[in-house]
């Protein structure tokens, strides 16, 4: 990801963040990469669902 990509700030409960960090480490991804992957997959599922409707 390029440094010129926009940044966002989000609030996440501390326990959720700790669990998320543990999972990203298992997958050898950064938090940013994991969040991007989750969002992209979610958007793809929504687009497919919209086409099926």
For residue 2, pLDDT over 80 is answered with no
- Per domain, the residue ranges of the chain are 14-52
> What are the pLDDT digits (tens) for 15-33?
999 999 999 999 999 999 9
For residue 48, pLDDT over 60 is answered with yes
Which runs of consecutive H residues, i.e. helices, occur in the chain? 14-26, 31-52
Q: Mean per-residue pLDDT for 40-53? A: 93
For residue 1, pLDDT over 60 is answered with no
pTM summary value:
0.81
pLDDT for res 53: 81
CB 24 within 8 A of CB 35: no
């Amino acid at each position: 990801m390029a440094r010129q990509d926009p940044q966002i700030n989000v609030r996440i409960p501390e326990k959720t963040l700790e669990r998320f960090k543990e999972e990203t480490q298992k997958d050898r991804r950064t938090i940013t990469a994991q969040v991007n992957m989750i969002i992209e997959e979610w958007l793809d599922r929504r687009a497919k669902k919209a086409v099926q409707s």
